[in-house]
Amino acid sequence: MIIMTDKLPEFDLSNAKAFGNYNNVSTSFEDGLEKSIMELASQQKDLLMSDILSRFGNYSTVHKQVKRLVLDNKLVLHELTQNSILENNFKMQQLRLTDPDNTDWIDLSAQPCLTCPIFNECGLENPVSPATCQEFNQWLGEEIEILNDEDHIEY
């Protein structure tokens, strides 16, 4: 026997705010995760990596998204203690929004390593290394020149 009712089923919405307060639907999970992380970073001045992991979960997708935001210069990662990244000490890794007006801000997205076809073969002990890479040294020289020029600008 089927009983008809006008009452809609109730859903558990206890974790509905885990991904922010957006009015627009994200086109992908990664896009929604990025927006949520950026929103969290804008709300908390001293955001730790452990805060992000406790909110969104300790998943490889979350780690990859944070790395992508750092490489895209949307976030800056500071180690509060030495080797906190190597030791996976997430309570000692602070994330902050970048400030493009800051003279120390470098556009890493232009770095040639990100598009290098032999990046996996690169290393300090290998024949291919940052010390011998002509493209990397040229890019680094240009970045240093830009920073030096900014230091000599009179305001």
User: pLDDT (tens digit, 9 = 90+) per residue, 4-42?
Assistant: 555 545 544 455 555 555 545 556 788 888 999 999 999
**Are the CB atoms for 85 and 29 separated by under 8 Å?**
no
**The model's pTM:** 0.52
* Domains contained in the chain, number: 2
Contacts of 151 (CB under 8 A, 6+ apart): 103
Q: What is the pLDDT of residue 130?
A: 80
Q: What is the pLDDT of residue 75?
A: 86
Q: Residue 49's domain spans which residues?
A: 26-98
Distance CA 73, CA 108 (A): 7
Q: Rounded to whole angstroms, what are the CA distances from 145 to 21, 33, 41, 80, 132?
A: 42, 36, 31, 29, 20
Q: Do 123 and 153 lie in a common domain?
A: yes
Contacts of 69 (CB under 8 A, 6+ apart): 34, 37, 38, 75
Q: Do 111 and 90 lie in a common domain?
A: no
Over residues 99-149, the pLDDT tens digits come to 766 645 555 656 777 778 787 788 778 888 888 888 888 888 877 777 776
Q: Do 49 and 108 lie in a common domain?
A: no
Mean pLDDT on 34-59: 91
Cross-strand partners of 47:
95
Going by DSSP bridges, is the β-strand pair 93-97/75-79 parallel, antiparallel, or unpaired?
Answer: antiparallel
Q: Do 110 and 85 lie in a common domain?
A: no
